Amino acid sequence: MRKLLLALSFLAPFTCADVVVITNPSGPDAMDANQVRDLFIGRSKSLPNGQAADPIDLESGQALREEFHTKVTGRSQAQLNAFWSKQVFTGKGQPPRTLSSTGAVKSAVASTPGAIGYIDSSEVDDSVKVVLTP
């Protein structure tokens, strides 16, 4: 039992990600969770500073995506899938574009004015601006 607990303690740091919402450095200085949620579910199309928003999501199945959507949009993966299926079917919207890794999200946000995404807090550098820590 003691060995199991010791082994699990080494894994704990790798399973607990701290998600942060990031924008391009030209983006707003801060956003609240409702503003971010509205961008990621298509209710809003612009950042608080007036820039056209380009939300970028991680692909399904990633732990950080689950954490972000649980904390910010309040929706599980199944709920998101159902929501976007209905939006697309009725012509009311398209889901945000998805990328395969947090590195790709950070790079896209850093190089795209108006882009907004999320990464693990350990990956933040001066190429992006943290606007929300949910």
In a domain, 109, yes or no: yes
Its domain, for residue 57, covers: 17-132
- pLDDT score recorded for residue 5: 44
In a domain, 118, yes or no: yes
CB-based contact 113:24 (threshold 8 Å): yes
Q: What is the reported pTM?
A: 0.85
In a domain, 3, yes or no: no
Cβ partners under 8 Å of residue 120, min gap 6: 17, 18, 19, 20, 64, 102
In a domain, 2, yes or no: no
40: domain CATH number is: 3.40.190.10
Q: What is the number of domains present in the chain?
A: 1
In a domain, 97, yes or no: yes
Tell me: pLDDT of 17 over 80: no
In a domain, 9, yes or no: no
Digit-coded pLDDT (tens) for 27-66: 999 999 999 999 999 999 999 999 999 999 999 999 999 9
